[in-house]
Amino acid sequence: MSRRAGILEFAVLGLLRESPMHGYELRKRLNTSLGVFRAFSYGTLYPCLKTLVANGWLIEEPGNAPEDALAAPLAGRRAKIVYRLTAEGKEHFEELLSQTGPDAYEDETFAARFAFFGQTSRDVRMRVLEGRRSRLEERLEKMGASLSRTRERLDDYTLELQRHGMESVEREVRWLNELIESERAGRTLKGPAHGDPAHDTTEGAPGVLPRTGDTPGPDTPGDTTT
């Protein structure tokens, strides 16, 4: 499975953990709430849903008539199918949420992981945030070394672009420092923008579902069109 396919499956499972949805609703939420999926097609979403159903992580159910009437003009007959997370799907998603390996720190993966921090325990959030910060600090060090070696050979515009890139990474590191400090202090972040507070298994942990599109930094991906 490609990394992008894995991220999409993770996001679909996370959204369906909140509530069952049909394809039109899922695509809208992925586009508007998760910036990592600003543009992708039904041709990408439905094969993903089919795979999740085949794995036993989702089931298909008949949709409600009012919702179908709204979605039908764009999604056709497919909008009549509502996707619901199974117990096995929930267990699989929670297993994915608990992973804190290097893949969790990558640009695309981190954006999706951060979007579901409201459903993630505090200790896992801390490991992911600290891993991401370390990854960016290493990137800053390499960028600075490269700039020092090539400064004299670059024109003013290329130098300015290099500086802009470094400033953007530095800005994200500062943002991560603030988040890590808040997590350590147990301070509550802003709650979910919609629906009930997200479930968190850690007592006192913030119930928050941040929007990936609001995440600062130059490396937040935008287009996963296939």
Which pLDDT value is given to residue 202? 36
Torsion angle of C-alpha atoms 144, 146, 149, 154, degrees rounded to 10:
-100
Is a pLDDT exceeding 80 seen at residue 120?
A: yes
- In this predicted structure, what is the pLDDT of residue 30? 86
Question: What sign does the dihedral 169-101-3-142 (CA atoms) show?
Answer: positive
Q: Is the pLDDT of residue 213 over 50?
A: no
Instruction: Give me 158's structure tokens.
Output: 């290329």
Cα 12 from Cα 118, distance rounded (Å): 15
- Mean pLDDT of the 4-29 span: 90
Q: Which residues contact 156 (CB under 8 A, 6 or more apart)?
A: none
Q: How far apart are CA 23 and CA 49, in angstroms?
A: 9
Residue count of the chain, please give it.
226
The CA distance from 36 to 220, in Å, is 7
> What percent of the chain stands above pLDDT 70?
71
What's the mean per-residue pLDDT of the chain? 78
In terms of pTM, does the model score above 0.75? no
Between CA 176 and CA 152 the distance in angstroms is 32
pLDDT in tens, 139-160: 999 999 988 888 888 888 988 9
Q: pLDDT of 190-212, one tens digit each?
A: 544 433 333 333 333 333 333 33
